[in-house]
Structures are given as structure tokens and as C-alpha cells.
Amino acid sequence: MTVHQLSIFIENRSGTLIKVLEALKAANIQIIASTIADTAEYGIYRLICSEPMRACEELKKANVAVALSDVFALAIDDKPGRAADAVKTFSEAGISIAYMYSFLLRGKGILIFRTDDNEKAVKVIADNQLQSINEADLSELA
Amino acid sequence: MDTNSNRQEHLTPRPTREGQGGGSAFFNPEFETLSRTEIEALQLERLKETVAHCYTNDFYRKKFDEAGITPDDIKTLADVRKLPFTTKQDLRETYPFGMACVPIRDCVRLHSSSGTTGNPTVILHTKKDLDEWANQVARNLWMVGLRPDDVFQNSSGYGMFTGGLGFQYGAEKLGMLTVPAAAGNSLRQIKFIKDFGTTAIHAIPSYVTRLYEVMQQEGVDPRRDTKLKVLAIGAEPHSEEQRKRIEEMMGVKAYNSFGMSEMCGPGVGFECPEQNGMHFWEDYYIVEIVNPETLEPVPDGEIGELVLTTLCREAMPLLRYRTRDLTRVLGRTCPCGRNHVRIDRMRGRSDDMIVLRGVNIFPIQIEKILMKFPEVGTNYLITLITEDNNDQMIVEVEVNEATDDFAKLQALEKEIRHQLGDEILLKPIVKLVAKGSLPVSEGKAVRVVDKRKVFE
Ligand SMILES: [Zn+2]
């Protein structure tokens, strides 16, 4: 139901992002999706990748501050309005979404998001027969 | 523990010269347990002797003439303030033997510190000076429970660095089996600790941390696999939090040591088991804390520059030596029964002091706060800037533990700023930076960058 996401502290100055990407490249880790959220001074670089546990270890070895977190991943049809439907389901259930990003994978839209109430979110996904995907699905698709 | 009864108990047994210490908690009970009045009487007597001794030296005589005083002007202990200060610069200018107060043939040891600017400095010792120095170190080690049965490993640099020979002679004087392991080669150090049954180590704090890292790599648990019971740490500025971390790692008490080659070396001050500041031995030194700008004495509890006058030195007595170390008086009595002044750990150097909007700030204050936050590293950089005609301090600190939560980063930034504000009395700008992006500090690295405009 959830997938591992790496959250990396980065600074808004040149060189800090490249250090992360170089370390992943050297470890032969494939980035599936990523996004940067930032303030004026610093940001959190979030990414979904192959072998997240190993990626995390490799980054720590490269002296990068990284945290592993669990985020929800939903597969939706690649059609207009599907993302809106999914988000609406959660908001109607009173669950707020901290952040969300999406990407296309093999003709499927993938929504990655974090909620303030994971237990409730699991229930909403089951009740509404939303198609959640896990780590294995993701690596299969990638 | 009741202070008075404790002191009484230890006052009675006066050990013979032979069995110094004996079953007592004191190595030199006749000096360690003096009352304040007795200490001050002894200091006045010894100050008069020291001043008269200095007056035989041309350098001092000239200084006395310039100040318009003679040894006869020292009538009370407070008269020490009539004496001119001595500085490191004086030592450089009189290099090598200009401040010797005995013929060089009476000296048996020389320690020299290399100067990054100008001449190096030289400190000379007679046989008696070396013996008095060893006595101070032995007194310290005895104070924290070490006895002749103990095995003392001195993992400190030897050679000109006084932490080597200073602790060597002191530990031997106490009667311990003493291992001159010197610094470095951690695997060999650990082997010694295990094979010789080392119970006490002297090292700089960063080396203890290093030793522990290697122990971990080698699967050695200091609690389980060693007989360690005491650490003596010094010669490197460190905070209380760092000390606690070291004590937790090694599972033993770590006592703070103050030394300075100009005075002799280690031995000058050391913590007792109360760990409430270092007792500075006032039978050996007159301790003053002065405002580094006005040179006037500051009240007890207030931070100022440590100024020391030696009272027992033959070869090179020093009058009112400006150490440049910043610290404060914590008290003049102690539950341990010693009434020798308690001095706080060093708060940095008077040369490092930052004056921002009229407030005196020491980098170690910043460090102390940052150590409380495991989310950030111990590397930091202070930048002083002028913004809209206002001087500001920026504290950059590395994020050690990442998070997926922005709110946590913002809360962290805010909390650091808040706690720094409480400590240094003005709120700096706190900037979180990526791990490894600040220069690694080794000892006296540059932690402060001043970009303020001097004139507006
Ligand atoms: Zn004490």
C-alpha cells in the first residue's frame, strides 16, 4: 500500500543537489520519480527510486542527511480528472494531504502523497477500491 | 554531604612525608585543606618572596621601575594589582633566557612553544620546579581517586608539549605504573589498555572520542573489556555536553584538567570528584579574573580573562601573566573540603571574543547550545554582517538528521534561535545548511567570519 521515499535535506546553493545525484549514479540507483519542495534557504528533495534501502545507505556513506519515509502510491488511469477524483475521496473523508506529486509509468498515472492520518487513508483506499501499489509493483513497472 | 564535618575529618591526619596521601583523600592535606584565611596568608608570604626574586632579573627590574614600584610596595595580597602584567609578547621579546631568575646552569629542563608569529617562547625549570610541577599533577590524580595500585596510560603528545612529561612525572610521583603511550596509533593504545590493565587515561577530549570509535570497530566495550575508571581530559576547549558524551561512551568519569606551559604545564587546575569547576591551587598561584579591556578585576561569577601569578617557581616566576583564556570564578569553597578557588571551564580565548551590539559573545557559548540538538552537527560557522546599519549574527549549522517534514525543520530553526538568544542575549539568524558543507573544524579552526562595516 505504501512505498519507501527518500527525503533529503538540500540547500538552495549550487552543488548540493548534484552531490546527491552523483552518489546515486555511482551506486547505480535508478530514480523513478522526484520532486523538490523549497523555501528561500533550503528544501526537501523527495525521491522514489529502485532499492530505496540501499540508496539510503549509500547516501549516508556520502555524508548526505537522508530520511526514509512511507508514502502512499496510487495508480490511476491516464485520463483527465482522475487525480481530482482521488484527492476528492480523501478530502471528503476528512484526511488532509501534506504533499502530492505524480508521474506517468507505463501508461498509468502514479500519485504519490502523504497524509496526516495513515490508518484512515488505508481504509478509504480499501472502501473506494482505489488501486494502491507497493514497492514490488513499482519495481515491476519500472 | 555535610561540608564542615567532612572537612574536619580530613584535617586531622597529617601524613608523614614518606606516605604522602596514605589513606587520606588528600595528597597534600597540609596545603589542600587550608582555610581561606590560611591560603591568603600563605599567598602573601610567597608573593613577597616571588617579587623579591623577580627583582633580581633585569627585565622585571625595568618593568618595576617603569611602574614606579619596588618589592617593598607589596604589603597586602591586594597589592598584587600594583604589579605590571606579563604577556606572551614579553616571553617572545626576552627569548630565550631573558626572563630566567636563576643562572642557566641551575636549570634542568626547557620547554619551548613554537610561535606562529615572531619568536618562540621558552620556559625554564630547575629541579625543584619540576618536583613542584609533578606534585601538582600527583595531587590532582590523587584527588580523583587514583592510588599507587592504578595503571596510568598517558595518551598525550610528548616532547615539547607539556601534557606528556607533565603527566608522566606526576603519575610516577603518585606511584602509579605509568605508560608513556603518547598520542596516536589507536589499535596499540587499546592493546595496552587491555594488556596492562590500564585504569586511567589522560588524553585530549577529541582523542578519547577517536579511541572509542576504534574500540567500537574492534568490538571492544570499554565497560566490559577494560578496567578503566578515570579519564583526565584537557588541553583542548570542550563543552560540558562533550564531557558528558565522553563519560557515557567510556562509562567512566572524565575530569577536566587545566594546564599551561607558561605556568609549568598540566597541574595548575583540576576537577575534584564534585565536578563543579577546577580547583586552581592557590598555594602555587594567585588567580585573578580581569576584564580583558579595562584590566580591572571582575566580580566572582562574571567572565573575564584569567591572570596567574606563580608563587613557587625558581627558574622563571611569572607575575600577573595574561593567559588570554576566558573563564570565571565559580566559588571558593567546596564540599570536597578544599577551599582552593573553583574555576569554570575555559570559555574560549579573549582574542576570540565577539563584541556584537555591545554584548560580549564567546563561540563556545554557541557550541554549547548546538550540542543540545542531535538533529544538527557540531560544525558551525558564525558570520557577522551589517544589514540596514544593524549588526547581525548569522549562525550556520549543518543538518545531521533529515526529515520529510518541513514544519520540523522550521521548528528546529526557531528553537535553536530561541535558545541561542537566551544564551547570548541577542537573537541570531539561524541557517540550516547541508551536511558536510561547512569547513571541518580541527581545534582552533576559524569559526567566525566578520563582514561588518566598520564605519557608516
Ligand atoms: Zn572540590
Is B455 a member of any domain?
A: no
Q: What are phi and psi of A92, to 5 degrees?
A: -65, -30
Question: pLDDT (tens digit, 9 = 90+) per residue, B78-87?
Answer: 999 999 999 9
Query: What is the rounded average pLDDT of the residues B425-452?
Result: 78
What pLDDT score was predicted for residue B443?
45
Q: What is the mean pLDDT of chain B?
A: 90
Residue B105 DSSP one-character state: G
Q: Are B167 and B158 in contact (CB under 8 A)?
A: no
User: What gap in Å lies between CA B234 and CA B257, rounded to an integer?
Assistant: 5
ipTM for the assembly: 0.85
Residue of B nearest to A66 (CA): B402
Residues B136 and B264 in one domain: yes
Residue B14: all three cell numbers together: 597529617
Q: Of the candidates B404, B431, B433, which has its C-beta nearest A7's C-beta?
A: B404
Residue B369: all three cell numbers together: 547550545
What pLDDT score was predicted for residue B115?
62
What pLDDT score was predicted for residue B89?
92
- Binning pLDDT at 50, 70 and 90, where does residue B113 land? confident
Given an 8 Å threshold on Cβ–Cβ distance, is A39 in contact with B406?
yes
User: What gap in Å lies between CA A55 and CA A48, rounded to an integer?
Assistant: 10
Residue B145 DSSP one-character state: T
Question: Domain range spanning residue B116?
Answer: 1-349
Residue of A nearest to B376 (CA): A65
What pLDDT score was predicted for residue B360?
80
Q: Which residue would you say has higher pLDDT here, B152 or A60?
A: B152
Question: pLDDT (tens digit, 9 = 90+) per residue, B406-418?
Answer: 899 999 999 999 9
Domains A2-68 and A71-141 share a fold: yes
Q: Are A47 and A67 in contact (CB under 8 A)?
A: no
Report chain A residues whose CB lies below 8 A from the CB of B431.
41
Angle in degrees, CA B184, A59, A114, rounded to 5: 140
Max CA pair span of chain A: 46
Please confirm whether the linkage preceding B96 is cis (ω < 30° from 0): yes
Residue of B nearest to A67 (CA): B402
Q: Which residue would you say has higher pLDDT here, B89 or B439?
A: B89
What pLDDT score was predicted for residue B294?
86
Residue B30: all three cell numbers together: 597540609
- Nearest to B311, CA basis, from B270, B271, B268: B268
Q: Which of B309, B330, B349 is the last residue of a domain?
A: B349
Q: Of the candidates B403, B406, B434, which has its C-beta nearest A11's C-beta?
A: B434
Is B258 a member of any domain?
A: yes
What are the sequence ranges of the domains in chain A? 2-68, 71-141
Query: What is the rounded average pLDDT of the residues B87-113?
Result: 95
| CATH fold of the domain at A2-68 | VC0802-like (3.30.2130)
Report the CATH number that the domain containing residue B154 is assigned in CATH: 3.40.50.12780
B338 HSE (CA, 13 A, CB side): 31
Residues B337 and B425 in one domain: no
Q: Of the candidates B400, B403, B434, which has its C-beta nearest A7's C-beta?
A: B403
Query: What is the rounded average pLDDT of the residues A102-122?
Result: 89
How far is residue B248 from each of residues B220, B230, B345, measured CA to CA in Å? 15, 13, 19
Q: Which of B329, B349, B369 is the last residue of a domain?
A: B349
User: What gap in Å lies between CA B418 and CA B423, rounded to an integer?
Assistant: 9
Query: What is the rounded average pLDDT of the residues B377-393?
Result: 87
Superfamily (CATH) of domain A71-141: VC0802-like (3.30.2130.10)
Query: What is the rounded average pLDDT of the residues B410-438?
Result: 92
What share of chain B has pLDDT > 70, as a percent?
Answer: 92
What pLDDT score was predicted for residue B300?
96
Q: Are B424 and B355 in contact (CB under 8 A)?
A: no
Residues B144 and B216 in one domain: yes
Which of A13, A16, A42, A71 to mutate to test binding with chain B, by most B CBs within 10 Å of its CB? A42
Mind giving me the DSSP string for B260-314? Answer: -TTTSSEEEEEE-TT-SSEEE-TTTEEEEEE-TTT--B--TTS-EEEEEEESS-S
Residues B337 and B364 in one domain: no
Query: pTM of the prediction?
Result: 0.68
Quickly tell me which residue has 571551564 as its cell.
Answer: B345
Q: Which residue would you say has higher pLDDT here, B4 or A101?
A: A101
- Binning pLDDT at 50, 70 and 90, where does residue A2 land? confident
Mind giving me the DSSP string for B146-208? Answer: --TTSEEEE-S--TTSHHHHHHHHHHHHHT-EEE---S--HHHHHHHHHHHT--EEEE-HHHH
Report chain B residues whose CB lies below 8 A from the CB of A19.
434
Q: Distance, CA B258 to ligand 1 centroid (Å)? A: 15
What pLDDT score was predicted for residue B184?
87
What share of chain B has pLDDT > 90, as a percent?
Answer: 70
Is B84 a member of any domain?
A: yes
Q: Are A50 and A29 in contact (CB under 8 A)?
A: yes
Report chain B residues whose CB lies below 8 A from the CB of A63.
435-436
Quickly tell me which residue has 587491555 as its cell.
Answer: B194
Q: Of the candidates B398, B403, B432, which has its C-beta nearest A67's C-beta?
A: B403
Q: How many domains does chain B have?
A: 2
Q: What are phi and psi of B392, to 5 degrees?
A: -130, 155
Q: Are B382 and B364 in contact (CB under 8 A)?
A: no
CA dihedral B29, B34, B38, B40 (to 10 degrees): 110
Is B456 a member of any domain?
A: no
Question: pLDDT (tens digit, 9 = 90+) per residue, A21-41?
Answer: 999 999 999 999 999 988 878
Query: What is the rounded average pLDDT of the residues B320-338?
Result: 95
Pick the range with the lowest mean pLDDT from B152-161, B213-222, B437-446: B437-446
Residues B258 and B215 in one domain: yes
Chain center to CA of B423: 22
What pLDDT score was predicted for residue B240?
87
Q: Which of B349, B381, B407 is the last residue of a domain?
A: B349
